[in-house]
Chains A and B, each alone.
Chain A
Amino acid sequence: MYGWHGRLLRVDLTERTASIETIDPKICRDFIGGRGVAMYYLAKEVDPLVDPLSPENKLIFATGPLTATPAPTGNRYMVVTKSPLTGAITHSNSGGDFPTWMKRTGFDLFLFEGKADSPVYLWVNEDQVEIRPADHVWGKDVPTTTDALLAETHPEARVACIGPAGENLVLMAAIMNDKHRAAARSGVGAVMGSKLLKAVVAFGNKNPPMADEAGMRNLSVTISKEVGVDVKKGSNLREYGTAYVPQVTNTLGILPTRNFLQGTFEATSQIDGVALKNTYLIRHTPCYRCPISCGRLTEVPEGKYKGKGEGPEYETIASLGSACGVSDLAAITRANYWCNELGLDTISTGMTIAAAMEMYEKGYLTEEQIGQPLRFGDADAMIAMIQKMAYRQGFGNELAEGSYRLCRKYGHPEIAVTARKQEFPGYDPRGSQGMGLLYATSNKGASHMEGDVAYEEVFGVPVKIDPLTTEGKAALVARFQDAFALIDSSGLCVFLAVRYVFNKDVMIWPIRLTQLMNHTTGANYTPEEIMKAAERIYNLERVFILKAGSTEDTLPPRMLQEPLPDGPAKGKVVELDKMLPEFYRIRGWDEHGVPTREKLAELELLEF
């Protein structure tokens, strides 16, 4: 096989055995790789009704055909599992080095099942596979664990691990790789913790052959050059990382502020990428083979927030900054380091604390219940809550369940800003209607990474469209969801892939991406075929979540009934009912959002 190894490493943690399996080439072709092939295995092997934190759930690490190839940004992997936060499917993406190292072990996928009876880690050095005890690093944070495991395996290996948050089954625990990169969302780290799997260490030199190596190299060079030209012209991502975005969303009035009570934040200039560059930025850091290099190595050199690490990214600034009313960039940066070290998703962590802050301000939670005051803007209280969450100490035990469960428990479900029980990322959909439809319908719950129509509504890529209208948004969201399923399955980073998937004239026409895939795999996809495969993946996930009982495509009352009080989107709510029926129709789903038999037949999914 080209492009794919066609090999899966199955790790039975209960039995402490590992076995090598062949992946059917037809499955690779039909489900592309990464997110798609992993979803195929999950749907085949996991009962959708399973308790996500039980041994019966499975956890899959999956690289794509473009991972570890010369394709710029071909450095991603996906973590696919049933989410304990949402009860639906999740697929969480990360870059850095680890995914490339994982692919070089000679496997496309690592599939974990069962549960160890004491902490373990997996060490894969090509075909030398060991399930080793991890008692000595259990309880340790991410940097300590990473360093310890490198010292006892191979200094040039790479590590993905959980921190205390994953061990303690915190529902927004992340899986961290290369210390600072996160497969962050939906509690994938808690699933790993539930299996007593502390870490995965990978090393190897095995790459699958490419169908057309020369073609691949030439195209990769061309792409790198094109990106290089743009970077020279002045690249927001290179210069400021995603941290430039708060100025954009604030200008449009969609920057989540004080738990979405507002859409503009008065202190945006104090917490954005320009401020970061002028203060704590040391240098930009790339994932493996990335010409864009949007990562930020930063240091707060002194004071009570002293520390060094990576970030903050836009999403972190929105969740731990404006959403919590925090305007101190040093505090946000240190809070970001804490999340990375403890293994927490910064989005759900910040947004959950923001919901608790609103509950406290309104008197729905008391100082006695929380153990301290928790006002909007109180950075020290926010950091204290982060630490308590990771260890489920005191009130942290409530926060560790996420805002949906927290607000319900204390009698005010209307405060939680979630879809499929997952916290919103940093775009208030009242001023970005397509994002509203996206959050409501996404298989993994509120997420920008399942079809980020903010590219058009906010960033003007490839064309700027009006974020405040609903016309055409149903088609846009459906196409973006499929396109992101393709990108996530390919192994490319979204930040690069968007320029080769979306096209001004024909909205989605992934010619370049298809070429990259064909040079790598020799599968001779046409763009139509590859988009069909992406649609197949999306629909398979949909079938799974409906069977899991996650059937409601809706948004919280704040989004549907409470107009934004400020900014350019003032007076707006999400007009979901104007978009949803059309979206179902375009998708080939019935009026309840269930894929029709015809649609499943067309996508060859009737067996699921």
Chain B
Amino acid sequence: MKVYVKLIATYQRLLPPDASGNAIEVDVPEGTTVAQVLLPYGVPLDDSSVIVLNGRMTDLNTPLSEGDTVAAFSAIAGG
């Protein structure tokens, strides 16, 4: 199934070099979770990142559905 990964601001550079803009479409097997889809890009999966599923709070173990967008950005405050 197709889902989207959107990496914002400093995280944008974690996307493959051929990505245009801050989002890419990826093909993943059914049952892939939020955490799993982010794994290849090296997004820190702890409190130093904000990770949302379709713009909403999510558990990292939530399985994705076709067309979902997972977005992430750095949560480091004040610098």
Give the residue of A244, A291, A468, A498 whose beta carbon is less than 8 angstroms from that of B9: A244
Q: Known contacts A236-B73, A269-B22: does B10 contact A460 (CB below 8 Å)?
A: no
Interface centre among B8, B9, B50, B57 (most CB of A within 10 A): B9
A239 and chain B: residue at smallest CB distance: B10
What are the residues of chain A within 8 A of B71 when measuring CB–CB? Answer: 251
What are the residues of chain A within 8 A of B9 when measuring CB–CB? Answer: 236, 239-240, 244, 247-248, 273-274
A238 to B47, CA, bound (A): 20
Are A235 and B8 within 8 A (Cβ)? no
Interface-facing stretch out of A48-56, A96-104, A226-234: A226-234
Question: Counting CB contacts under 8 A, is A504 at the interface?
Answer: yes
Report the minimum CB–CB distance from B45 to chain A (whole Å).
Answer: 13
Q: Known contacts A237-B79, A251-B8, A497-B78: does B47 contact A463 (CB below 8 Å)?
A: yes
Are B79 and A247 within 8 A (Cβ)? no
A461 and chain B: residue at smallest CB distance: B77
Question: Counting CB contacts under 8 A, is A213 at the interface?
Answer: no
Question: Counting CB contacts under 8 A, is A567 at the interface?
Answer: yes
What are the residues of chain A within 8 A of B57 when measuring CB–CB? Answer: 464-468
What are the residues of chain A within 8 A of B55 when measuring CB–CB? Answer: 251-253, 567-569
Report the minimum CB–CB distance from A64 to chain B (whole Å).
Answer: 17
Could you mark each residue 37-75 of chain B with 1 if its beta carbon is under 8 Å from any beta carbon of chain A, else 0?
A: 000000000010110101111000000000000010111
Could you mark each residue 231-275 of chain A with 1 if its beta carbon is under 8 Å from any beta carbon of chain B, else 0?
A: 101111111100010011001110000000000000001000110
Interface centre among A231, A233, A495, A567 (most CB of B within 10 A): A233
Are B78 and A499 within 8 A (Cβ)? yes
What are the residues of chain A within 8 A of B47 when measuring CB–CB? Answer: 460, 462-464, 504
Chain B facing A: main interface SS: mixed
A526 to B8, CA, bound (A): 39
Are B79 and A496 within 8 A (Cβ)? yes
What are the residues of chain B within 8 A of A568 when measuring CB–CB? Answer: 52, 54-56
What are the residues of chain B within 8 A of A569 when measuring CB–CB? Answer: 55
A239 to B12, CA, bound (A): 12
A237 to B10, CA, bound (A): 9
A273 to B54, CA, bound (A): 22
A274 to B49, CA, bound (A): 19
Give the residue of B22, B75, B78, B79 whose beta carbon is less than 8 angstroms from that of A460: B75
Could you mark each residue 11-26 of chain B with 1 if its beta carbon is under 8 Å from any beta carbon of chain A, else 0?
A: 0110000000110000
Report the minimum CB–CB distance from B48 to chain A (whole Å).
Answer: 9
Are B78 and A274 within 8 A (Cβ)? no
Residues of B at the A interface (CB closer than 8 Å) are 6, 8-10, 12-13, 21-22, 47, 49-50, 52, 54-57, 71, 73-79
Q: Apart from A455-B77, A495-B77, what are 12 other A-B pairs with CB-CB below 8 Å?
A: A235-B76, A239-B9, A244-B8, A252-B52, A253-B55, A274-B9, A291-B79, A459-B50, A459-B77, A464-B50, A468-B56, A568-B55
Would you give 25 A-B contacts (Cβ < 8 Å), ordered by A? A227-B78, A227-B79, A231-B79, A233-B76, A235-B74, A235-B79, A244-B10, A247-B8, A247-B73, A248-B50, A251-B52, A251-B71, A459-B50, A459-B77, A460-B75, A461-B75, A464-B47, A465-B57, A467-B57, A495-B78, A497-B78, A499-B78, A567-B55, A568-B56, A569-B55
